[in-house]
Structure 1
Amino acid sequence: MKHYDLIIFDWDGTLMDSIGRILACLRNVARDMGFIEPPEAAQRDIIGMSLAQAMQTLFPGRPSQEYPLMQQSYRDNYQRQAHVATPLYHGITELLTQLQQLQYQLAVATGKSRPGLDRSLQQTGLDQFFHLSRCADEAHSKPHPDMLQQLLAHTGVPASRALMVGDSILDLQMANAAGVAAVGVSYGAHSCEKLQLQNPKAIISEPLALLSVLTA
């Protein structure tokens, strides 16, 4: 018996192995702006936020006119690496294929912008699996539950029949706030120990392990 009808995935650090690329861009923002580079742990903590909120959290107390410059620096640095393919985690395509065959509805809730997600969906071929998504420029930034609430309202799926899958405590906090069960993945931004503090249903160390969680 299926316990869920809708499975919602984060993108960076959950489906796509992009954490290293994001961290490199954040380091370059600090360099471009002449700031001291924040600790890596602080950088990992903002992955999943909207870009505006991420810059304000990572570099607090700066003059307001500097934040648009930080955001543009991040975008420029990210685009400079566009020629280098960012891979999906091993097993993602197989996982999504099986979930689709099992007739789960699949969605994405991400801190990426709409243009960024659409580009990534097309480049990776995952647009064949995901026909519903919410991005940071369409809703309140994680960990606010707005993205999940919009997806639930759009599909008509009750919170009790939805599952959020993500690599960051922001994903799990968002799920908790929306009354949605969550599964953490320990191969992305945050460690198993940090994810466990948010009381997820399970924590998996590789994508295909989600299938066992769904049948437990």
Structure 2
Amino acid sequence: MKQYQLLIFDWDGTLMDSVGKIVACIQASSRSLELAVPSESAVRDIIGLSMHKALHTLHDNLDDVIYNKMIELYRQQYLELNDTPSPLFEGAESLIQQLDQKGYQLAVATGKARAGLTRVLNETGLGHYFIASRCADEALSKPNPEMINQLLIERHVTPEQCLMIGDSLHDLNMANSAGVDAIGVSYGAHGTSKLSRANPKAMINAPLDLLNYLGH
């Protein structure tokens, strides 16, 4: 099996079971502003994008004042008002621990802003396992390859030595654009049939399945 040095994980829908909460918070924020409430499938399709790009996809032709208000409402929903659970997926913590023990470099490329990623890394206790990360307010939004390209440069790793793991087409298309291999996660925002459009190297149905792909 090909040996990778750097494993880059998406966060929402890949390591954390937060898709349901994101859907509920986006819908509630839209409702509060008396905007058309997007369907669950529509929200799932924007998970992984930067918040700005996501909202412009869901609600086109709104002025910046409304967009900024919706971002504020979404954060309030996510941090204070919405009680939808968003735990780590079963096996995710064990996976990260085992990969760290096996000497892989671990990184995150996420649609979250830096403040949001820092919060969940602290809450889950996983922060010390990840040696690098890129967030949506630090690079161009997925599927642009900038997040991965920056991580490759920072870690002195070639594309051939890197593997991206994600649950959305945005993750896999970003990997394709950066010239790195990708693994699709079937249990997150997008299912197997949609992810297969991006021709991932494999699909996994649970976090610990990644160990089998890597030959452990």
1:127-172 deviations in Å (ceiling 9; x for gaps) = 1211210000110011110000000000000001100000000000
Distance between the aligned counterparts of 1:166 and 1:157, measured in 2? Answer: 19
**Counterparts in 2 of 1:123 and 1:189: CA distance versus 1, 3 Å:** same
Paired AA for residue 185 in structure 1: V
For normalisation by structure 2, the TM-score amounts to 0.96
Distance across 1 between alignment mates of 2:116 and 2:151: 19
The reply on whether 1:174 has 2:168 as its aligned counterpart is no
2: CA distance, partners of 1:12 / 1:84: 14
User: Any residues of structure 2 matched to 1:67-216 within 5 Å, and which?
Assistant: 67-81=67-81, 86-215=86-215
Question: After TM superposition, which residue ranges in structure 1, 4 or more long, deviate above 4 angstroms?
Answer: 81-85
SS in 1 for 2:74: helix
Q: Is the 8 A contact 2:20 2:84 kept in 1?
A: no
> How many angstroms apart in 1 are the aligned matches of 2:85 and 2:69?
26
Structure 1 residue runs without a partner (length 5+): none
Deviations 1:55-76 (A, max 9, x none): 1111011233211111111111
Amino acid at match of 2:47: I
Q: Distance in 1 between the 2:173 and 2:179 partners? A: 10
**Contact 2:18–2:85, Cα closer than 8 Å, also in 1:** no
C-alpha separation between the residues in 2 aligned to 1:131 and 1:159? 17
83 and 64 in structure 1: CA distance in 2 versus 1, 3 angstrom threshold: closer
How far apart, CA to CA, are the structure 2 residues paired with 1:117 and 1:172?
A: 20
Structure 1 81/181 Cα, relative in aligned 2: closer, same or farther at 3 Å? Answer: farther
- The residue type equivalent to 1:147 in the other structure is M
- Read off the aligned partner of 1:30 and give its amino acid letter: S
Letter in 2 for 1:6: L
Residue 9 of structure 2 corresponds to 9
The alignment yields a C-alpha RMSD, in angstroms, of: 1.5
Shift of 1:42: 1.2
Which residue of structure 1 lines up, in the alignment, with residue 23 of structure 2? 23
Percent identical pairs in the alignment equals 51
Measured after TM superposition, the shift of residue 29 of structure 1 is 1.4
For 2:38 and 2:86, locate their aligned partners in 1 and report how far apart those are by CA, in whole Å. 24
Which residue identity does 1:124 align to in structure 2? T
Amino acid at match of 2:134: R
Q: Within 1, Cα distance between the matches of 2:153 and 2:181?
A: 16
Separation (CA, whole Å) in 1 of partners of 2:85 and 2:128? 19
Q: Distance in 1 between matches of 2:81 and 2:202?
A: 34
Q: Distance in 1 between matches of 2:97 and 2:120?
A: 18
